[in-house]
Amino acid sequence: MKDSLSRPVHRWPVRITHWVNLFAMTCMFMSGWEIYNASPLFDFRFPPAVTLGGWLGGAIGWHLALMWLLALNGLCYLLWSLFSGHFRRDLLPLRLSALRRDIWLALTLRLQHRDGKYNAIQKLMYLGVLVLGLLLVLSGLAIWKPVQPLLAGGAVRRF
């Protein structure tokens, strides 16, 4: 029988999607910095060594391609989490009483962490990151020209 220390804490789909997210978000930061360099708002430019795309058009191309990678990866994670029971088993339920208790324990430096089990603060942060990821993809789509005619108008996009 295997020792519990040799078993990974997270299943392989979670690990793969997290590594893909790391790659995609790092490259999105780099292409975003190149987009910023094309018209800086402040008296600052990112060095070319930390940007991606080489010029405005190239950076936008990279940014959009990576947005689709991030969206597809998020969809894969979401579907796997729903069908495997990961959401139900590991992230839900999130109770207000447990959140209050864990916040107090964290503030008093007594919050314990058990491998393979999320505390209420971790559950809240994890669910919050998923919501923010969805909002990032939707905001990126809202300013993408091919999608704009499908939206209700400029006021909705600005919101």
Q: How confident is the model at residue 5 (pLDDT cuts 50, 70, 90)?
A: low
**Does residue 154 form part of some domain?**
no
Q: How confident is the model at residue 1 (pLDDT cuts 50, 70, 90)?
A: very low
Q: Do residues 48 and 95 both lie within one domain?
A: no
Residue ending a domain, choose from 70, 105, 134: 70
Residue ending a domain, choose from 38, 70, 102: 70
**Does residue 4 form part of some domain?**
no
Residue 156: C-alpha distances to residues 131, 140, 159 (Å): 19, 13, 5
Domain of residue 42: give its range. Answer: 16-70
Report the predicted TM-score, pTM, of the whole model to 2 decimal places.
0.75
pLDDT tens readout for residues 34-59: 999 998 788 899 999 999 999 999 99
Q: Do residues 89 and 135 both lie within one domain?
A: yes
pLDDT tens readout for residues 94-132: 999 999 999 999 999 999 888 778 899 999 998 998 899
Q: What is the mean pLDDT of the chain?
A: 86
Q: Do residues 54 and 103 both lie within one domain?
A: no
